[in-house]
Amino acid sequence: MQIHKVGVIGAGQMGNGIAHVFALAGYDVLLNDISQDALTRALALIDRNLGRQVVREKITEAEKANAIGRISTTTTLTDLGASDLVIEAATERETVKTAIFEDLQPHLKPDTILTSNTSSISITRLASRTDRPEKFMGLHFMNPVPVMQLVELIRGIATDEPTYKTMLGVVESLGKTAASAEDFPAFIVNRILMPMINEAVYTLYEGVGNVRSIDESMKLGANHPMGPLELADFIGLDTCLAIMNVLHDGLADTKYRPCPLLTKYVEAGWLGRKTSRGFYDYRGETPVPTR
Ligand SMILES: CC(=O)CC(=O)SCCNC(=O)CCNC(=O)[C@H](O)C(C)(C)COP(=O)(O)OP(=O)(O)OC[C@H]1O[C@@H](n2cnc3c(N)ncnc32)[C@H](O)[C@@H]1OP(=O)(O)O
Ligand SMILES: NC(=O)C1=CN([C@@H]2O[C@H](COP(=O)(O)OP(=O)(O)OC[C@H]3O[C@@H](n4cnc5c(N)ncnc54)[C@H](OP(=O)(O)O)[C@@H]3O)[C@@H](O)[C@H]2O)C=CC1
């Protein structure tokens, strides 16, 4: 199937990155969010991140302008009805995602492919709530989308071969590398990464180290580009907690128990960079550890 028009739902940090890479690869992108402010912020961020690529001579000014020209925005979900491919990148909550697909599907063409950028939720279960489980897949980008090479492709139990092949081609057309993962809680990357982040929060909770010493240890001692707590703030602590809950519920093993301190930060609304406070406080000139 030929994909030209791409609808992206959710204009948070993932949605804006996904819109960015699709527009740069020549697709027409319609970006949707319930909040006009989120759409305005997303367009400004896309402009800034494309600008970085111009400065670093990865793309030209003309390519940047063309990419921006291919992105439109809407707060009306049903405007995405003409899309060939829909990528849902809204908040990591199953009820939110299910409601989006249920509201959208009566307006779609019969052959539109539906995908979710979920970090952890069962693709089979999301697909089963739509009218086209055979044309439904997980399409899991990594953050920051314009930089990270990997895209996980997750087939639900009913996903058909033409849908999988089409999505493999789409990932290739973005210049990215696909890795296929089976449909189990949190797939591959987050099955491995998130327990490490959760363990870093336990290390903090138990007083083994403080925010700075834990992050320095993993950066200088294990060559990670970001410390685990800095990375958790970058991903979003609400998203980290949601993924740990899916692992804990889905695999029924206490080793996935979310750290109570992670829960407390989320309860405080300290979600990391996106709320300017998490394991670090970002409100000043430089990030300051909160513990
Ligand atoms: C939760 C999930 O479901 C799955 C996930 O995504 S898990 C998270 C996966 N992501 C990671 O693990 C990221 C780990 N961190 C890193 O790799 C690096 O710190 C980083 C790439 C984010 C930044 O690297 P850095 O060396 O500190 O910064 P910097 O030198 O300024 O930037 C490196 C490149 O990234 C780009 N960049 C940095 N931040 C960016 C952003 N937020 N958006 C777009 N581009 C960005 C820069 O323009 C630069 O591009 P080029 O190399 O093409 O010139
Ligand atoms: N953060 C990360 O590193 C990664 C996240 N993901 C996944 O991508 C998805 C998005 O995450 P992320 O971008 O970080 O989250 P953000 O919180 O940054 O953005 C989510 C956006 O979705 C919006 N939204 C909520 N409900 C709806 C709706 N019904 N219709 C349209 N938009 C809606 C939110 O609006 P509002 O703020 O007004 O509620 C917000 O703007 C999640 O499934 C997450 O697990 C995947 C890979 C990496």
Q: Is 15 annotated as a binding residue?
A: yes
Catalytic residue among 32, 83, 152, 230: 152
Q: How far is the CA of 242 from the centre of ligand 1 (A)?
A: 22
Q: Which ligand is nearest to the CA of 55?
A: 1
Q: At 122, which CATH number?
A: 3.40.50.720
Q: What is the pLDDT of residues 166-196, one digit of tens each?
A: 999 999 999 999 999 999 999 999 999 999 9
Q: How far is the CA of 148 from the centre of ligand 1 (A)?
A: 7
Q: At 228, which CATH number?
A: 1.10.1040.10
Q: How far is the CA of 201 from the centre of ligand 1 (A)?
A: 22
Full DSSP string of 16-56: HHHHHHHHHTT-EEEEE-S-HHHHHHHHHHHHHHHHHHHHT
Final residue in a domain of this structure, among 132, 151, 182:
182
Atom nearest to 35 CA in ligand 2: 38
Q: Both 37 and 126 in a single domain?
A: yes
What torsion, rounded to 10 degrees, do the Cα atoms 130, 135, 140, 146 define?
A: -120
Q: Both 52 and 195 in a single domain?
A: no
Q: Both 43 and 71 in a single domain?
A: yes
Full DSSP string of 94-122: HHHHHHHHHHHGGGS-TT-EEEE--SSS-
Residue 272 carries which DSSP code? B
Query: In the structure, which protein residues have their CB atom closer than 6 angstroms to any atom of ligand 1?
Result: 49, 52, 56, 58, 119, 142-144, 146-148, 189-190, 193, 225-226, 231, 235, 239
**Which residues are within 8 A (CB) of 103 and not within 5 positions of it... i.e. 6 or more apart?**
77, 78
* Cβ atoms of residues 105 and 82 within 8 Å: no
Q: Both 200 and 172 in a single domain?
A: no
Q: Tell me the backbone φ, ψ of residue 149, rounded to 5 degrees.
A: -80, -25
Catalytic residue among 119, 120, 122, 198: 119
What is the span of the domain harbouring residue 81? 5-182
What torsion, rounded to 10 degrees, do the Cα atoms 1, 155, 83, 49 define?
A: -110
Final residue in a domain of this structure, among 147, 182, 217:
182
pLDDT of residue 120: 97
ipTM given for this complex: 0.95
pLDDT of residue 109: 96
Q: How far is the CA of 227 from the centre of ligand 2 (A)?
A: 23
Number of compact structural domains in the chain = 2
Atom nearest to 234 CA in ligand 1: 8
Q: How far is the CA of 166 from the centre of ligand 1 (A)?
A: 27
User: Once rounded to an integer, what is the mean pLDDT over residues 199-216?
Assistant: 98
Nearest CA to ligand 1 atom 11: 143
Closest CA to 6 of 44, 141, 21: 21
Q: Both 141 and 51 in a single domain?
A: yes
Q: Both 146 and 204 in a single domain?
A: no
pLDDT of residue 226: 98
Nearest CA to ligand 1 atom 8: 143
Q: Both 162 and 216 in a single domain?
A: no
Nearest CA to ligand 2 atom 47: 142
Convert 8-23 to b/e letters by CB count within 10 Å (16 or more is b): bbbbbbbbbbbbbbbb
Task: Measure the CA–CA gap between 28 and 113, rounded to whole angstroms.
Answer: 15
Q: Both 44 and 140 in a single domain?
A: yes
Residue 219 has pLDDT above 90, yes or no: yes
Q: Both 159 and 51 in a single domain?
A: yes
Q: Both 27 and 97 in a single domain?
A: yes
Residue 1 has pLDDT above 90, yes or no: no
Catalytic residue among 32, 88, 120, 140: 140
pLDDT over 90, % of the chain: 100
Q: Is 32 annotated as a binding residue?
A: no
Q: What is the pLDDT of residues 50-104, one digit of tens each?
A: 999 999 999 999 999 999 999 999 999 999 999 999 999 999 999 999 999 999 9
- pTM for this model (two decimals): 0.97
Does 274 sit in the ligand 2 pocket, CB within 6 Å? yes
User: Once rounded to an integer, what is the mean pLDDT over residues 149-154?
Assistant: 98
Helices (H) and strands (E) in the chain, counts: 11, 10
User: What kind and span of H or E run contains 68?
Assistant: helix 61-69
Q: Both 173 and 205 in a single domain?
A: no
Q: Both 170 and 232 in a single domain?
A: no
pLDDT of residue 41: 97
* Cβ atoms of residues 116 and 138 within 8 Å: yes
Whether residue 119 lies in the annotated active site: yes
pLDDT of residue 207: 98
Does 34 sit in the ligand 2 pocket, CB within 6 Å? yes
Residue 23 has pLDDT above 90, yes or no: yes
Full DSSP string of 173-197: HTT-EEEEE-SSTTTTHHHHHHHHH
Final residue in a domain of this structure, among 116, 150, 182:
182
